[in-house]
Amino acid sequence: MNKVFLVVVLLLCVVMIAGCHPKKMRPLGPSGQEGTKPPAETVVKEPAERPIEKPIKPIETTEGEGMALKDINFEYDKYNLTEAAGDVLAGNAEYLMKHPDVDAFVEGHCDERGTEEYNLALGEKRAIAARDFLVRFGIDRSRISIISYGEERPLDPSGTEGAWAKNRRDHFVVK
């Protein structure tokens, strides 16, 4: 009787273990390490709106003013703004203050490491960080929309350390 009970318990354990599916993780690189999981408190939600795929309208600038809005980059697995990013965002804010008719999308991007869900959440946090900086600088929040593309739109798809550094960015699109 005890042997039958033990066999039944073992079979139930095997069935339960076989029924569990591990989460799919992407490798970090050539070493084959698993990607990072999102923190338990991260709630991933679909952005309310996606920009319409169309060419970006050119912005007229005065001579010497340069490109209207510049991108910023982030450190690996981070969404806090570096000092260099703050300097670029201050320039973007000054441009937006001089051009009150210009609105912008802040696109949050990540490198290809980590899960799709994690990268979407991280890209959103990056876009929010940039938008909040611009709002604190005096830009009306209604002029700045955010969206996260996670790893969907890499600037450099080559999968190298240098490419990953380029892909961890907020890209500013005039709308």
Domain boundaries, position 139: 73-94+102-175
Q: How confident is the model at residue 68 (pLDDT cuts 50, 70, 90)?
A: confident
The mean pLDDT value for 59-63 works out to: 37
Give the total number of structural domains in the chain: 1
Q: Using an 8 Å Cβ cutoff, are 151 and 119 in contact? A: yes
Span between the terminal Cα atoms of the chain, in Å: 74
Residue 14 lies in a domain: no
User: How many other CB atoms are found less than 10 A from the CB of residue 131?
Assistant: 22
Helices assigned H by DSSP within the chain? 2-19, 83-98, 116-136, 161-167
Is 1 a domain residue?
Answer: no
Question: Which is higher by pLDDT, 156 or 15?
Answer: 156
Q: Assess if residue 35 is contained within a domain.
A: no
Q: What are phi and psi of 37, to 5 degrees?
A: -90, 150
Closest of 92, 105, 95, 128 to residue 54, by C-alpha: 105
Give the CATH number for residue 166.
Answer: 3.30.1330.60
Domain-located, residue 116: yes
Binned at pLDDT 50, 70 and 90, residue 39 comes out as: very low
pTM over 0.85? The answer is no
Residue 15 in any domain: the answer is no
